[in-house]
Structure 1
Amino acid sequence: MAAVAAMKALAVAASPVSARQPRRYVAGGASRRLQSPFHGVSVQCPGRPRRATPRRGRQVAVVAAAVRPAIQFIQGTDEQTIPDVRLTKSRDGTNGVAIFTFEQPSVFDSSAELGDITGFYMIDDEGVLQSVDVSAKFVNGKPARIEAKYVMRTPRDWDRFMRFMERYSQANGLQFVKN
């Protein structure tokens, strides 16, 4: 399939019609004009004059939306309870653990209609940090608390986690207290 697309690209590139136009190469595969499902990056040859290609049809608007930092146990459902967070870090600073404790979390109220807890998700502008180390504590047969652990194995993981916590604490009015 790829060989056929490449042969079509070579046939078009060698045609007398294409010889009059500036040469354009598509990185990695055949051109979109050949009905290939691959949409590569166009590369202009140096030394050739560039002509503007008119775009027809659609216009694209770029919208930058800020994501409010959130914690979720069920994807798509934000946890409303603000956690108590304990941090530990190794002496050499290479790894650490964050333990989140949620007393009477709202996920217990909504899990009946939304489903089971699937993990621990920390969502912000940069993406999602996740863990599956989640445990529920029961008192007299009723769910009372959720504890979630997030392990950071590299200084980069630690820095990313701290950026999330800074955003989350600003959005929820939390403060850092060193013990």
Structure 2
Amino acid sequence: MTATSPSIQFFAGIYEELSNVSLRREVRTGKRIVMMKFAQLKAIEGFNSFTKQSLNSLLLTDEEGEINVTPSSTRFIFGGDEGDELQGVECKFEVEREDHWERFMRFMHRYAEANGMEYGEK
């Protein structure tokens, strides 16, 4: 049995590379908020600027299985001389249940280890 490498996909078979992630807790409600940042998205590199591609589902996969996430917001950041170069994408979602949070953190630790990322607290 081989361990499944941790992966992130918006579309099946197109593996994305996470550039950063920030974890916050909303003081008022106690909800945990995850902000995943991608410097680029392979899922949309093939589309032109007139294509509005919906990124309404995120699939996180590791040796434990799959986690399906529906982002509460997805923000595209553009820049460059003409202002039309994709500089990055921010994908935000909330995690309310403690068991879901623990499962997400196990995924993140595996993903970080597999991709040479470090966990740091500010």
Deviation at 1:78, TM superposition (A): 0.4
Alignment of 1:147-158 (within 5 A): 147-158=90-101
Structure 2 length normalisation: TM-score? 0.76
In structure 2, what is the equivalent of residue 143 of structure 1?
86
Q: Which has the larger radius of gyration?
A: 1
SS of equivalent to 1:67: coil
- Long gaps (5+) in structure 1: 1-63
Q: Take 2:59 and 2:39, find their aligned partners in 1: how far apart are those partners?
A: 17
8 Å contact 2:31–2:96 — kept in the other structure?
Answer: yes
- Once the 2 structures are TM-superposed, how far is the Cα of residue 94 of structure 1 from its aligned partner? 5.5
Residue in 1 aligned with 2:6?
A: 69
Structure-2 separation of matches of 1:135 and 1:142:
14
Give the alignment of 1:107-118 within 5 angstroms.
107-111=43-47, 116-118=53-55
- Say which structure is richer in strand: 2
> What is the identity percentage for the equivalent residue pairs of Structure 1 and Structure 2?
26
Q: Structure 1: which amino acid aligns with 2:98?
A: P
Structure with the largest fraction of helix = 1
Q: Which residue of 1 aligns with 2:62?
A: 124
Give the number of equivalent residue pairs. Answer: 113
TM-score by length of 1: 0.54
**Backbone CA RMSD of aligned residues:** 2.6
> 5+ residue gaps in structure 2?
none
Q: How does 1:11-160 map to 2 (within 5 A)?
A: 64-79=1-16, 81-90=17-26, 95-111=31-47, 116-118=53-55, 119-129=57-67, 130-132=69-71, 133-139=73-79, 140-160=83-103
